């Protein structure tokens, strides 16, 4: 007996976190919407030596967990993603991407202290790259009390309207207007 049809925009029954139409409901996809996602090869591959010494079957399982965690994080299921990242870290504690993305998930859950600890641990494992630098600096600004300097040397950003209201900015704006007015006469 066949199950009820799945809506194209509903989550795929395979648990991938994607919409049915983008997963098993795609025109060229397999006909079974309940097929396990493990039949397809996982796309995640760790950089560096994160998984050295782990057998190939376990690597495939960890890659599947990383793919699923990223899909959950993209669909705003931060707690589900965090659980999967922790499962990866239980087997391979030096998985840089799992540390970084677990930090982002914890940040999304509002645990800034844990997010900061994880982010620093991930940051220390590898040379900095744009995504982690941006996430680290933004997290540091989010944790800093209002008006306090952040470790990157800057202050928490003020909105453009507040900045324009500061005396040096008013002078710059007024001076520009005066020069423009004198040029037009």
- We report the CATH number of the domain holding residue 67 as 1.25.40.10
Structure tokens at 71: 């899909």
- φ and ψ at 155, to 5 degrees? -100, 165
Mean pLDDT of 44-68: 90
Going from the C-alpha of 33 to that of each of 2, 42, 43, 60, 70, the distances in angstroms are 11, 18, 20, 22, 21
Domain assignment present for residue 118? The answer is yes
For residue 12, pLDDT beyond 90: no
End-to-end Cα separation, the chain, in angstroms: 86
Mean pLDDT of the chain: 76
Cβ–Cβ under 8 Å, residues 72 and 80: yes
Mean pLDDT of 37-54: 76
Domain assignment present for residue 113? The answer is yes
Q: Return the number of other C-beta atoms located less than 10 Å from residue 18's C-beta.
A: 18
Domain assignment present for residue 93? The answer is yes
Identify the domain containing residue 63 by its residue range. 55-146
Domain assignment present for residue 19? The answer is no
Per-residue confidence (pLDDT) for residue 10, from 0 to 100: 81
Please count the structural domains in the chain.
1
Domain assignment present for residue 121? The answer is yes
The C-alpha atoms of residue 11 and residue 24 are separated, in whole angstroms, by 10
Domain assignment present for residue 65? The answer is yes
Query: pLDDT tens-digit profile of 112-130?
Result: 999 999 999 999 998 888 9
């Amino acid at each position: 007996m066949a199950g009820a049809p799945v809506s194209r925009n509903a989550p795929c029954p395979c648990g991938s976190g994607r919409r049915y139409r983008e997963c098993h409901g795609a025109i060229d996809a397999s006909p079974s919407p309940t097929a396990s996602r493990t039949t397809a090869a996982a796309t995640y591959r760790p950089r560096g030596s994160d998984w050295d010494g782990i057998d190939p079957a376990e690597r495939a399982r960890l890659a599947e967990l990383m793919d699923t965690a990223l899909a959950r994080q993209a669909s705003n299921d931060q707690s589900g993603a965090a659980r999967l990242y922790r499962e990866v870290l239980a087997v391979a504690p030096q998985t840089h991407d799992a540390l970084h993305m677990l930090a982002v998930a914890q940040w999304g859950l509002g645990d800034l202290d844990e997010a900061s600890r994880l982010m620093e641990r991930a940051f220390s494992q590898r040379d900095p790259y744009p995504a982690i630098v941006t996430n680290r600096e933004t997290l540091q600004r989010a944790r800093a009390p209002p008006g306090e300097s952040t470790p990157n040397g800057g202050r928490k950003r003020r909105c453009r309207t507040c900045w324009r209201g500061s005396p040096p900015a008013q002078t710059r704006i007024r001076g520009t207007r005066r020069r423009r007015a004198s040029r037009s006469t």
